[in-house]
Structure 1
């Protein structure tokens, strides 16, 4: 074998040790936007973000990627991460699975969840790339969250993506090279209201020779500080708050709905000045009693009389 050939082989052999331990990865994190979150009902609002990775190094080597995500600028509790809008809090969580059952955490934070482990095997040319989905959920039923724009920023120590050559799949320790891309998680809460009703049932009676009174209820739940008014329509064939009509065919029983127990303040809609009820949301359910009265009148044909009144909350 010639001396020049031997020199060439020695030079190649000396390069392999440095190649075996060198790897370089770059990462990107797309923003996660929940848009308008539904905070009054029990319905969760979901969104996703994408982590992208591109690596180069030893051909056919396996790189373990441990993308640690901490609490974010909004902070976190054992139950949820938090986005902030001023002093108002909106709870959410990040997960590594589409079922949203495995929380995406970090080796360094005080809660049980840890970063998921991703393995990337480089190709014959020593390069490789891939993506992973981050799944997010804003929990429903957060009625005390005030309207506004909410944000949590992941940067610096809150994003610590560690990567290294290894055949293991453990992300429980601070081992490997580090990358720190940033991630913004955003949501908005709009002024919103919900209403539920309890019917006014006058029961069964005979001759309509005296007042017959009954009550129902309108329950309003609005986001904090949201001003609103509650109005009642005149029913299917009524002409005023005190001249509503329960009907059976062409026959009718006249009745009225009121804001007070004395039945002196009619409850109507915007067309009747001063007849609506005003309130301001607190995030909690606020109940308003609807006072009904059937006044003395000519008794119509026996039967079941009914009417439908629309309850409108304007905010």
Structure 2
């Protein structure tokens, strides 16, 4: 069959490919992530502001026998959180009025009178909490509470008034 020259001839082309379908290639390479955590400790709770609270012996007119108290959270206890496994030490100095940790003193500011007292690491009050060896421990990674155990021995009270002392707590690791 012949078509007039002015009419286009329809042509159908079929293309066949012998190429395989495109393959997806995966390249894997390890990437290493690292972080270095420095050993650290921080005060927890109210102590984070630098104040452990007040350990209060109470109110007495005489001291014919020893008075013993133990601290609580926000009332003298030390709350500390260090990285897991950190070896740390808590030291407590002689205070403002004692001449050594063995002779800590509470002082009444108006009369200048003093009362002897002592701080201990243990409830039995056998181990004085000092500023050289102090109390050592290994951190759990969680907040840890360290209580102060204090004793005001029997003694003659020289003057009525409010007796106090201020201690410095040092934490080293």
Give TM-score, length-normalised by structure 2.
0.69
Whole-angstrom CA distance in 2 between matches of 1:241 and 1:313: 17
* Contact preservation (8 Å) 1:198, 1:218: no
Cα distance in 2 for partners of 1:310, 1:194 equals 16
- In the alignment, which residue of structure 1 is the partner of 2:78? 218
The higher radius of gyration belongs to 2
What is aligned with 1:185?
A: none
Please give the alpha-carbon distance, in whole angstroms, between the structure 1 residues aligned to 2:121 and 2:108: 26
Moved over 6 A (4+): none
Separation in structure 1 between the aligned mates of residue 39 and residue 53 of structure 2, nearest angstrom: 24
Query: Which one scores higher on RCO, CA 8 angstroms, separation ≥ 6?
Result: 2
Partner deviation per Cα, 1:255-280 (whole Å, 9 max, x = no partner): 0000111111110111xxx4x11111
Once residues 281 and 226 of structure 1 are traced to their aligned partners in structure 2, the CA distance between those partners, rounded to angstroms, is: 5
TM-score normalised to structure 1 length: 0.39
**Is 2:60 the counterpart of 1:205?**
yes
The counterpart of 1:227, out of the listed 87, 91, 96, is: 87
Pick aligned residue for 2:146 from 288, 301, 309? 288
Q: Which runs of 5+ in 2 are unaligned?
A: 1-30, 72-76
Supply the distance in 1 between the matched residues of 2:102 and 2:158 (Cα, whole angstroms): 18
- For structure 1, the residue ranges without an aligned partner over 5 or more in a row are 1-72, 75-83, 86-149, 151-187
Q: CA deviation at 1:198?
A: 4.1
> Structure 2: how far apart are the matches of 1:243 and 1:227?
29
Partner residue of 2:113? 251
SS at match of 1:189: coil
Q: Which has a greater percent of strand? A: 1
Whether 1:313 aligns to 2:161 is: no
